[in-house]
Amino acid sequence: MSLLRTLRIGVLARALEEILQVPSQAFGYPLLQPKGLSREAREGLVKVCPSGAFFEEEGIFSLDLARCVGCGRCALVYPEAVGEMKTLEVAVVRREDLVQRVDLAAQAFLDPGPPPPPRPELRLPTLAFREVSAGDTGLADSEIALLGNPFNDMARFGFQVVASPRHGDALLVTGPVSRNMAQALERTYQAMPEPKGVVAVGNEAIAGGVFAESPEVWAGVDRVVPVDVYVPGDPPRPGAILHGLLLLTGRVVQRLVGGVVR
């Protein structure tokens, strides 16, 4: 068995299922427990979260995964109110699918309905992508680069980085899009041939992350160029980014719907 596997993917490469798991020592993504959201827990959660990922509004309590930095404190302090998702299959095509919303009266998740399918013209056996860092601290960039290392070996899925946007099928963007980078990002996008996909990699790229309030950033790639796939994380682990690329090329189905694995 292991010889067969080695012959197939090499000595160091990890199997896809392994790459798509959060390792045991680290906190994955938080998961609200609709039945455990007492008033006290809700007030506590809003206070304990350093990045303001919890909101309460008109009987609906929500958690935005794109604001969560993954510290794990909410689940530690209020285990009855917040659990954990250990999967890295978290990429989505619809922004709302990163927000868990609980109807407090019904003690149940709100279902936003089935997500739209990925774009059929991007159903590709291989994908060449260009990366643009637009205000990222360098870590999301680093994770994308590490997708190419012998452990993750994205080349076996047909993914490769290209030097010019003219050779790309997809654009990966990291960072909250600093004002000073917006024009360069737009022009890179325009330089790509059709059909082209855009992946927003990391919380900052999705909605600005901790920089959302800064006047120097656009706080979201989709405010500058259209986005096809969102990959939450701070930064997302290589497995999550890989899932985003697989989702973009239509090779896996979206797992998160309304922020919950369904």
Partner 1 sequence: MEAVKEALQEGRPVAYFPYGEGALLLVERRRSLEAFPLGQGRRLPSLAAEFPSLDWFERALWERGLELVGHPGLRPLRRHDLPYAFREFPHLHEVPVGPVHAGIIEPGHFRFSVLGERILNLEIRLGYQHRGLLGIMPGKGPEAALLLAERAGGEPVAHALAFAEAWERALGIEAPPRAQYLRRAALELERAFGHLGHLAGLFTDIGYAYGATQVGRIRALLQGEVDRLTGHRYGRNFIRAGGVWREGRPDLEALSRYQKELDWLLPRLLKHPQVLDRMRYVGVVRRVEALALGFVGPTARASGVERDLRQDDALYPAFVPVVRQGGDVLSRAQVYAEEALQALEYALRFLHQRAEGPLAVEVEAGDGEGMARVEAGRGEVFWFVRLEEGRVVQAEGVDPSFKNWRALELAVRGEGLPDFPLCNKSFDLSYAGNDL
Tally Cβ neighbours within 10 Å of residue 146. Answer: 14
Cβ distance 83 to 31 under 8 Å?
Answer: yes
Report the interface residues with partner 1, using CB under 8 A: 12, 23, 25-27, 50-52, 69-73, 131-139, 141-146, 149-151, 161, 163-165, 175-176, 178-181, 184, 188, 210-211, 213-217, 234-235, 237
212 binds ligand SF4 (CB under 6 A): no
Cβ distance 51 to 67 under 8 Å?
Answer: yes
Taking the C-alpha atoms of 41, 43, 44 and 45 in order, what is their torsion angle to the nearest 10 degrees?
A: 80
68 binds ligand SF4 (CB under 6 A): yes
Least distance to partner 1, CB of residue 50, Å = 4
Closer Cβ to partner 1, 49 or 99, answer by number: 49
When binding is defined by CB under 6 A, the residue of 9, 16, 71, 124 that contacts ligand SF4 is: 71
Closer Cβ to partner 1, 107 or 180, answer by number: 180
Cα angle 36, 42, 44; round to 5: 115
d(CA 18, CA 152): 10
- Tokens of residue 33, six digits: 């427990």
Q: How many of the chain's residues bind ligand SF4 (CB under 6 A)?
A: 13
* Residues within the interface to ligand SF4 (CB under 6 A): 30, 48-51, 53, 68-74
